[in-house]
Structure 1
Amino acid sequence: MDHKELHDLMDKYMLGTASREERSRLLTWYRQQPADDLVWKLEAGEDEEQVRKRIKANVWQRLEDPTQRASKAISRTWYLGAVAAVLLAVLGFAFWKMESPSATNLIAETPTTQVENRFVLLPDSSRVVLRPGSRLVYRTDFSGDSREVELIGEAYFDISHRAGQPFIIHTGAVKTVVLGTAFTIRANPNDSDVQVTVQRGKVRVERDNKTVAELTANQQVDVHEEADKTAPKEVHDVAETAMRWAAQDVSFDWQPFGELTAKLERRYGVVIKFKNEKLANCPVSGAFSGIETLDELLPILCTTRNATYRKEGKIIEINGQGCN
């Protein structure tokens, strides 16, 4: 989004003429900025004024040429204050209602430069695999009437069932509601469409609180910006293919143990060491579904090399004999 387009969207919002999609674009723009200053990283107890100041400084940095700030300071001060107010309003539906003193929001992110996917175990034991360049925002607990997360990019979800507490994924203006199922969602920032593919179970896809499609196993839908209703299509082979990428980091054949653990470190966000460095050169083979936790995967891997492991927090040490 260029400078002029952003100004136009802000003006429309302040005049009350911005559509839901345009408000969503403002939210997407802000989320695409570096994560260090993002509003959803606030700690419980941080008040709205602190967030407003942080957003204002963030927007100033991104909108203004540092060499021109002095001459424009007076004319831009009101505007940037309004930008902060607008962003708080836009972010409100997706963030403030999720914030509470007892629970903060967490962010899981996979850098675009990373080859491996990122595995995330949610507080309700639901499992998510993020593709590189994707971001997931979720709460440290799911104690409310619903379990809500926000996604930018592409992710595979395997959701645990909780009666009376639906799982909801926000992707801009599109909302996917599930009770317990496995599916993928692709909602890249540069794409106008959101694609949902269901492997098993059933989901409901909404936009602006209106149902646009209901999907069951082996169905897929592309939700367009303008369409009120979208018919799902049968995708038996495509559904399998859409899920296959989630397992690409944990399917390996005769790979050195050290190379594999380097991938697992990036996938699970841990540090893995070898007490006996010779073990790192030993080949291992295996094929997993892609939704295993590290605690489920490690015992099997170690068994193949007659090795053991010890885990303390995010530090894991593997011990065993080397190989010839």
Structure 2
Amino acid sequence: MNNTITQLFLKYILNQCSKAEIEQVISLIKDGHNDSEWLAAMELAEQENHFESNLSESHKANIYQGIRKAGQFKPRSNQRWWAYSAAAILLVASVGLWLQRSNNPSTQPQAVVINKAESKPLAQTGKKWVKLPDGTSVQLNANSSIDYPDSFEGLKERKVTLVGEAYFDVKHKEAQPFVISTGKLTVTVLGTAFNIKSSADQSQITVTVTRGKVKVQKEGQTLGLLTQNQQLSWKANAIQPLLKQDHIDPKVAIAWKADDLIMDDVTLEEAANLLAKRYQLKVHFDNPALRQCKFTAAFLERNELTQMLNVIGDITNTKLTVNAQQTLTLSGAGCN
């Protein structure tokens, strides 16, 4: 193992590299023979920041391979060096942000994903975007957790347990309802998008629907059927739930979602849909084969859409553009 390379990778992970060092890192990773140095640098980064990593060895290796792939693309002629390097830098941002924020965990509550089949939590500070086994996407707010099985196959219901706040975009499966248990309430859906917020002691729960229809129940009794732009608020000490049907702006309820954007081993289709929801865009693929191209990246709240599109494009060898009609178009040869 080359200790010099390990130390250089460590500087890269901690965002301490100069322009020349970043170019050297990309060159070394493109070479494809420094896997052990990369994993050693990840371990050192964890030790220097005094926290225990929940990233598996395969996840660390996937980040390495993602940076290697990003380094295979040449920068556009009108891009500065840092714009090109961002394609690789942001691939480790999910690690870098974690390292930075873990130094002050008391001010950064965790979003936790618990997979029963693995019998261990997968945690990341701040908010977390999760893809469930059925394709449903969940965005967890800070200090929230979700518990779900390794697979929904063969089950009558797709049942998960939520503590805290999350935004769900449920994959439609008419024969297999999606059921969320939170405190004393259950929310049943077939395919829709909605937000659930429960207090720390689960004595107050609010459900807001942004698309589709959901049923809210307590101990088998239906409290309400909600459709788009409707909200139900329930309090443990209230005789009847407060059902708001008019003048509900769902953007207020889901304003917390507008924050750092983590894309962990997602397809271009999943990423495009996530950006479309965030920026009110339509999505069009010129080449359908692009839909299944996978990548890993992370973006800060302050990153502009154009920068994100350029980075994703460099990583996946794809051109992403938004026209005046607010349509996000993805074109190109894409992944191999």
When the two structures are superposed, what TM-score results if normalisation uses the length of structure 2?
Answer: 0.45
Please tell me whether Structure 1 or Structure 2 has the larger radius of gyration of its CA atoms: 1
When the two structures are superposed, what TM-score results if normalisation uses the length of structure 1?
Answer: 0.46
